[in-house]
Structure 1
């Protein structure tokens, strides 16, 4: 018979169990916050910053202030923010790198949001054989219910505990599933749907252009499609009670069932060099995809999302590459490869204006990350030169308000959290505080 603990011991045991329970709950699922930027393009992937109401967008008298700076390795990986943690990826040398420049480790790393102190990192070997633009991983980490999900450039699908960096599971999709790595590596950030499935665009063989994995243990649930992998993740769209995954491969725009991956419709769109990069945009019952050489296409969906038809296509002014377009009140704002920011009507495709390359210089691979500020016409734009630009985007024209240098050359997507912006280049991760308006005294 086990001895019965005395009352003080019983009390301490009870307190310990309660504390352990709440600690486990905290580790498993951090509550969401308006300050979180938990995935590619922020909450819901909407590309909208929930900025403080008193945020100052005119920086003529007060510039953004550097809060902290930390060294980091090279990468195209974007930044995620949940709670008091920052998450991103980079590439580090390992013991084989001196003999083989393509050898190295991919690293997932977390920093303290307020101080920049490194909290943990997790590394694994990743050889970049035959990978063009081979300086580092591409995806933005996806943080969901206390877990961090990443897809490495050459197919390592990883799940870590967010607070500690402990590996919960990892799949080498190339070794295990014969996934075919595209020329520039896997770049579509993992997508969590219905809290249970992790969707990746990784061309498993055979017939695994898209695949769903169990968030808990990484076991495959379904796979779908025979197309090769492009560089963007699918999106989950909703119309009433209907849900659908929409993806853009190098050969088609496709609609799939989230339950089993069944392809419900597809529209041909074969792109040069397979550069299906920008995430499909679902607005006003239509899907918009924007390509570099072949231009943009608008696809109308039926109310039940089961049928699709091409509405228009344009390849003179609407040729996006990596930059994600923004939509507001019937109009879309897209960084075209030649004309700069272009404003056009979503339904008709009619061009209203171009900014004539004011936001970012014209170049071979123009890039700028565009994010709306709250529900306003103002947008934050981090261009490839590392300049954070505040603009007003409206159908009547482009207006620049402020501009400030944050980092050196970068294609990595920044993150916004409260009055802070986080950005990176190939050597440093920085945190800047955006000025706020001082309330007038009564």
Structure 2
């Protein structure tokens, strides 16, 4: 775990590699370094949770040379994104402790907002739309920030958390990245409930169990395609639907693959 590789896309040979675990003295998360890297303007940016101010590291895409490092936070499993704010490109990352906005070319911190968690299980990507930034965690509920359009700053709109991951408020999602659409948020709660929330308050409008099998850690992958939402669930079903404040409307569904609970054979714990 903890190796970063750059491959030739045409030939598949390794152009450069990094042993991140050794070089950055990483306190390895339970499931390793699992956040997807982000490529931005000649840099590949990775959330690794390294020591000595190396939670986030930007590497030159051609040489693999480190260009900057930032933050002493523990790593999460959430992929960073880049947004437009106040006429600038801003790198948004959800670490194991907070949401941050940085200069993607230098790693300079522009703004931050705490979001501490009982366990670092944040996997979903931060969602940005119409100057709102939303994240949701399995154990610790949801947070909505207003991204200031005229300066590099944010403010909290609301934060809601239920008594537990079984008795939830708003949304406690684990793996699936939610959707922001108009005045509503759509996402999958901790045990598979597809929910619609009021954007401004976090109040639950409705929930539905037709799209996602009810189970702990349940999830579904959602992609917006014009006025429809394409979904792929844990049963291997592709669903074309429409989501609105009125509810979940299924248009069609087909089975693509069968689910599996198989495990790769391991030798020596590798």
Same fold (TM over 0.5): yes
CA distance in 1, matches of 2:106, 2:210: 45
Three-state SS of the structure 2 residue aligned to 1:265 is strand
Alpha-carbon distance between aligned partners in 2 of 1:308 and 1:275, rounded to the nearest angstrom: 23
* 3-state SS of paired residue (1:364): coil
Specify the alignment match of 1:400 in structure 2. Answer: 250
Structure 2 distance, partners of 1:185, 1:364, is: 21
In 2, Cα distance between the equivalents of 1:244 and 1:158? Answer: 25
Alignment correspondent of 2:164: none
Do residues 238 (structure 1) and 84 (structure 2) align?
yes
Shift of 1:333: 0.8
Q: Would the aligned equivalents of 1:386 and 1:410 in 2 still touch at CA under 8 Å?
A: no
Q: What is the alpha-carbon distance in structure 1 between the residues aligned to residue 79 and residue 48 of structure 2?
A: 9
Whether contact under 8 Å (1:384, 1:410) holds in the other structure is: no
- 2:212, 2:220 within 8 Å by CA — same for their partners in 1? yes
Mapping 1:26-425, distance limit 5 Å: 154-194=1-41, 196-239=42-85, 241-315=87-161, 316-338=169-191, 340-355=193-208, 357-373=209-225, 375-376=226-227, 378-409=228-259
What is the root-mean-square deviation of aligned Cα atoms in Å?
Answer: 1.9
Structure 1 counterpart SS, 2:22: helix
Instruction: Give the equivalent residue in structure 1 for 2:267.
Output: none
Q: Looking at both structures, which has the greater relative contact order when contacts are Cα pairs under 8 Å and sequence separation is at least 6?
A: 1
Deviation at 1:307, TM superposition (A): 1.5
**How far apart are residue 240 of structure 1 and its match?**
5.3
Contact 1:391 1:400 in 2 (8 A): yes
Match of 2:119, SS state, is: helix
Measure how far apart 1:330 and its partner are.
Answer: 2.3
Q: Is the 8 A contact 1:290 1:321 kept in 2?
A: yes
- Counterpart of 2:166 in structure 1 is none
Q: Which runs of 5+ in 1 are unaligned?
A: 1-153, 412-424, 428-442
Q: 1:201 to 1:289 in 2, by over 3 A?
A: same
Relative to structure 1, the CA distance from residue 305 to residue 318 in structure 2 (aligned partners, 3 Å threshold; closer, same or farther) is farther
Deviations 1:394-425 (A, max 9, x none): 121101222222223379xxxxxxxxxxxxx9
Query: Are the counterparts in 2 of residues 301 and 309 from structure 1 also a CA contact under 8 Å?
Result: yes
* Residue of structure 2 equivalent to 1:18: none
Q: Separation in 2 of the partners of 1:246 and 1:345?
A: 23
**TM-score normalised by length of structure 2:** 0.89
Bigger radius of gyration among the two: 1
Q: Is the 8 A contact 1:180 1:202 kept in 2?
A: no
| Over 6 Å off, 4+ runs | none
The question of whether the paired residues in 2 share the 8 Å contact of 1:244 and 1:305 is answered with no
Q: Name whichever structure is richer in helix by fraction.
A: 1
Deviations 1:187-245 (A, max 9, x none): 11110012x01010001221111110000011100011000010012110003522211
- Deviation track 1:256-305 (CA, whole Å, cap 9, x = no partner) reads 11121112221111112211211111112121011111111011122245
